[in-house]
């Protein structure tokens, strides 16, 4: 698979002295959906902004379709569509006026039927002559997507596209994104929800404190990271885990009053039934049980620990 | 050259004017008429002629220049300040347009608007006083050169300003007084010596003087010096703008 965006040794120190990106190396493959996953403040927006030309890198380089984003910016930017994180839209312009502006800005000749398609696919066609100020938040989000698509980009960046978006629009958005991917558009989206990355991405890049911690195929990553914990509150505290249960990954907590079983969401779900049976046979009784999905934070902590 | 990109910015900015057409066209017509009623008629009745030109006609070039300066600066500064303020500037920064193209789009639109307003005032003035323009080509040269120069200045202010107050500040505290004291409504000959010399430091004097020369061939300052001063300002603003884009000053992090 060919590489469409190649980021190498990219660092960014803001004027405040804050080091937002540290030595980022990342290759984005043509036609994939890549999720940049990381908590707030990790540097996702900074990374995207550099590639799009909004933020100046401090060091390192980015190549888009084998062209440097600084020396050859006209060509690289023409290929890129950006949906920003904030709902930044004009106010008094109409939907059509705004989208026509973007297309022109990117140097494309007018194409009424393409624009109509884009607006229809985002359910904005009926609103084409409305002033932007009259649109709801969800519609503004769709307008931003329409603007980014208006110049037929080959690479689409979506910065936290689902922030403040309702379930229905989210579903529409995923369908649209998959449709675009099927036409060969490369898609990079940022999110801090692991479920979201799981739902849509082909590959996931974890970013934390300005560093890429891991980049991997989603399926592999979820297998490695998608853990759940089953916590059993026992009637009688246990001093040790009986041999008959040694095949399970379990530990005792709080003086043996709790038994914690960590399991993989994807491959070991059936294990729980067996565990229950085995618990019964070992004569272990419990008052209560709860399950916890490992949070993104847990995963990060885990990853950072494993890395060092 | 991304001509479509330049045109998109230009058109977008001009569309903003269309939405405020009333304000853009009617306001200068009304204020010009008021100036003529107040200055031309009320005061003009007590002032004979200045260097052989009827007072009402004498103030026309100054009046146009005055409005041209203010309009150029407000249009251009607002044009770039607003997207910066709302955040829509991201689109311009991420588009395949060069710095020069961005400037041509914004400054071109602002200069077009203020030139149009200048011409509207010229036409309105024709209703009140007899106008004869001796050097129409030079008149247009001064008009356009000033419009472009001060639209560029407005563009710089719009980038520098990070709140609405600063946006108005330069116009209110610097440009308006300079324009008033630059000989819009009088010849500097009419001032005491000391103030005549002070006025020589006012750049607006040179604009108005040159512009008035193109109408009536009367000038406080030799025409070549007027042209030189405008060119000097234009060159300075070009250099500052280049620096802004090269460093990303207040545009990029
Ligand atoms: N203009 C700026 N000046 C200083 N620090 C900034 C600036 N923009 C962002 N940062 C800081 O850089 C870090 C990364 O920000 P950002 O890229 O927006 O993260 P994310 O998009 O992952 O939430 C944050 O700690 C943020 O506070
Ligand atoms: Mg962000």
Q: What is the pLDDT of residues B146-162, one digit of tens each?
A: 999 999 999 999 999 99
Q: Is the CB of A45 under 6 A from ligand 1?
A: yes
Domain for residue B100, yes or no? yes
Buried b / exposed e over A25-55, threshold 16 CB at 10 Å, is ebebeebbbbbbbbeeebbbbbbbbbbbbbb
User: Which H/E stretch holds residue B160?
Assistant: helix B136-160
- Name, in order, each residue with C-beta under 8 angstroms of B211's C-beta and a sequence gap of 6 or more: B61, B62, B64, B65, B139, B142, B143, B146
User: What pTM value is reported for the model?
Assistant: 0.86
**pLDDT value at position A44?**
97
B15-18 long-range contacts, Cβ below 8 Å, gap at least 24?
A: B15/A93, B15/A97, B16/A92, B16/B79, B17/B75, B17/B109, B17/B113
**pLDDT value at position B117?**
92
Place of tokens 């005032």: B121
A42 and A73 both lie in a single domain:
yes
**pLDDT value at position A301?**
67
Q: Is residue A140 less than 8 Å (CB to CB) from chain B?
A: no
User: CA A205, CA A221: separation in Å to the nearest integer?
Assistant: 10
**pLDDT value at position A294?**
62
Number of domains in chain B: 1
- Output the CA B106–ligand 2 centroid distance in Å: 29
User: CA B97, CA B94: separation in Å to the nearest integer?
Assistant: 8
- Name, in order, each residue with C-beta under 8 angstroms of A115's C-beta and a sequence gap of 6 or more: A96, A99, A100, A103, A150
Pull the structure tokens for residue B77: 């500064």
Domain for residue B192, yes or no? yes
Q: Is the CB of A43 under 6 A from ligand 1?
A: yes
Q: Are A269 and A245 in contact (CB under 8 A)?
A: no
Q: Is residue A257 less than 8 Å (CB to CB) from chain B?
A: no
Q: In this structure, what CATH number is given to the domain that contains residue A69?
A: 3.40.50.300
If you average pLDDT over residues B109-134, what whole number do you get? 91
Q: In this structure, what CATH number is given to the domain that contains residue A271?
A: 3.30.70
Q: Is residue B193 less than 8 Å (CB to CB) from chain A?
A: no
A182 and A296 both lie in a single domain:
no
Domain for residue B166, yes or no? yes
Dihedral (CA of A87, A89, A91, A92) sign = negative
Contacts of A188 in chain B (CB under 8 A): none
User: CA A178, CA B1: separation in Å to the nearest integer?
Assistant: 34
- Domain end (from A223, A244, A265): A223
Q: Is residue B239 less than 8 Å (CB to CB) from chain A?
A: no
Which range of residues forms the domain containing residue B157?
A: 3-247
Q: Is residue B250 less than 8 Å (CB to CB) from chain A?
A: no
Residue B217 has pLDDT above 70, yes or no: yes
How does pLDDT run across B20-74, given as a tens digit for each residue? 777 777 887 888 888 878 877 777 777 778 888 888 888 899 989 988 998 999 9
Which range of residues forms the domain containing residue A248?
A: 227-307
User: CA A54, CA B84: separation in Å to the nearest integer?
Assistant: 12
The tens place of each residue's pLDDT in chain A, 308 residues long, gives: 699 999 999 999 999 999 999 999 999 999 999 999 988 899 999 999 999 999 999 999 999 999 999 999 999 999 999 999 998 888 889 999 999 999 999 999 999 999 999 999 999 999 999 999 999 998 999 999 999 999 999 999 999 998 888 888 888 899 999 999 999 999 999 998 877 888 899 999 999 899 998 898 887 776 666 677 889 999 989 888 888 888 888 889 888 899 988 877 665 555 778 888 888 888 888 999 888 776 555 666 677 676 66
Q: Is the Cβ pair A56, B90 closer than 8 Å? A: no
Number of domains in chain A: 2
Pocket test for ligand 1, best of A12, A14, A52, A54 (most atoms within 8 A of CB): A14
Q: Give φ, ψ of B185 to 5 degrees.
A: -110, 5
- Domain end (from A173, A201, A223): A223
Closest chain B residue to A78, measured at CA: B96
A148 and A183 both lie in a single domain:
yes
If you average pLDDT over residues B157-178, what whole number do you get? 89
Domain for residue B152, yes or no? yes
A146 and A176 both lie in a single domain:
yes
Q: Is A210 left (phi over 0), alpha (psi -120 to 50) or beta?
A: left
A34 and A166 both lie in a single domain:
yes
A156 and A15 both lie in a single domain:
yes
Bridge partners, A159 (sequence order) = A190
Domain for residue B252, yes or no? no
Nearest one of B46, B214, B200 to B122, comparing CA atoms: B214
- Domain end (from A223, A253, A277): A223
How does pLDDT run across A232-266, given as a tens digit for each residue? 999 989 888 888 888 888 889 888 899 988 877 66
Q: Give φ, ψ of A22 to 5 degrees.
A: -120, 105
Domain for residue B191, yes or no? yes
Bridge partners, A260 (sequence order) = A231, A251
Please give, rounded to a whole number of angstroms, the shortest distance from the CA of A203 to a CA of chain B.
25
Domain for residue B57, yes or no? yes
Domain for residue B125, yes or no? yes
User: CA A139, CA A172: separation in Å to the nearest integer?
Assistant: 12
Best mutation target, B11, B14, B251, B253, to test chain A (most A CBs within 10 A): B253
Tell me the average pLDDT of chain B: 89
A116 CB neighbour count, 10 Å cutoff:
13
Pairing of strands A155-159, A80-83: parallel
**pLDDT value at position B242?**
93
A239 and A182 both lie in a single domain:
no
Closest chain B residue to A151, measured at CA: B95
User: CA A21, CA A42: separation in Å to the nearest integer?
Assistant: 8
**pLDDT value at position A226?**
66
A192 and A239 both lie in a single domain:
no
Contacts of A56 in chain B (CB under 8 A): 248, 252-253
């Amino acid at each position: 698979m060919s590489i469409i965006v190649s980021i190498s040794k990219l660092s960014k120190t803001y004027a405040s002295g804050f080091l937002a990106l540290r030595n980022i190396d990342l290759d984005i493959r043509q036609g994939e959906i890549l999720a940049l996953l990381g908590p707030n403040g990790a540097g996702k927006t900074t990374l995207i902004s550099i590639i799009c030309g909004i933020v100046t890198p401090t060091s390192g380089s980015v190549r888009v379709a084998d062209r440097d984003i600084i020396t050859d910016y006209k060509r690289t930017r023409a290929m890129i569509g950006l949906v920003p994180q904030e709902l930044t839209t004009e106010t008094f312009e109409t939907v059509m006026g705004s989208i026509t502006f973007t297309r022109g800005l990117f140097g494309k000749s007018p194409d009424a039927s393409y624009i109509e398609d884009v607006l229809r696919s985002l359910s904005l066609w009926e609103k084409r002559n409305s002033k932007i100020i009259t649109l709801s938040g969800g519609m503004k989000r769709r307008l931003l997507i329409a603007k980014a698509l208006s110049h037929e980009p080959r690479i689409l960046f979506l910065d936290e596209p689902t922030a403040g978006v309702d379930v229905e629009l989210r579903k529409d958005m995923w369908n649209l994104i998959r449709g675009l991917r099927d036409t060969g558009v490369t898609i990079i989206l940022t999110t801090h929800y692991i479920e979201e990355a799981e739902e849509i991405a082909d590959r996931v890049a974890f970013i934390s404190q300005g560093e890429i911690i891991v980049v991997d195929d989603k399926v592999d990553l979820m297998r490695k990271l998608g853990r759940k914990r089953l916590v059993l509150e026992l009637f009688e505290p246990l001093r040790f885990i009986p041999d008959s249960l040694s095949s399970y990954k379990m530990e005792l907590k709080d003086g043996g009053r709790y038994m914690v079983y960590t399991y993989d969401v994807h491959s070991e779900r059936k294990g729980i039934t067996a565990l229950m049976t085995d618990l019964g046979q070992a004569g272990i009784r419990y008052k209560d049980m709860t399950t916890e999905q490992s949070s993104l934070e847990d995963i990060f902590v885990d990853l950072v620990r494993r890395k060092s | 050259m991304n001509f479509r990109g330049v045109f998109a910015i230009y058109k977008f900015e001009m569309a903003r004017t269309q939405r405020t057409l009333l304000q853009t066209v009617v306001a200068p017509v009304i204020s010009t008429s008021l100036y003529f009623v107040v200055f031309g008629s009320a005061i003009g009745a007590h002032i004979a002629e200045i260097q052989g030109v009827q007072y009402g006609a004498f103030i026309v070039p100054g009046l146009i220049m005055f409005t041209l300066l203010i309009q150029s600066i407000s249009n251009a500064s607002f044009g770039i300040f607003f997207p910066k303020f709302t955040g829509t500037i991201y689109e311009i920064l991420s588009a395949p347009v060069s710095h020069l193209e961005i400037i041509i789009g914004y400054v071109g639109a602002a200069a077009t608007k203020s030139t149009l307003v200048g011409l509207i005032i010229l036409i309105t003035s024709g209703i009140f006083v007899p106008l004869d323009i001796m050097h129409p080509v030079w008149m247009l040269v001064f008009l356009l050169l000033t419009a472009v120069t001060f639209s560029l200045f407005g563009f710089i202010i719009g980038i520098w300003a990070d709140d609405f107050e600063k946006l108005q500040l330069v116009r209110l505290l610097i440009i308006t007084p300079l324009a008033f004291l630059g000989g819009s409504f009088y010849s500097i000959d009419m001032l005491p010596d000391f103030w005549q010399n002070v006025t020589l430091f006012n750049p607006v004097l040179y604009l108005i003087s040159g512009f008035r020369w193109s109408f009536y061939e009367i000038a406080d300052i030799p025409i070549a010096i007027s042209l030189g001063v405008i060119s000097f300002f234009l060159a300075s603003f070009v250099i500052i703008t280049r620096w802004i884009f090269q460093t990303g000053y207040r545009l990029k992090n």
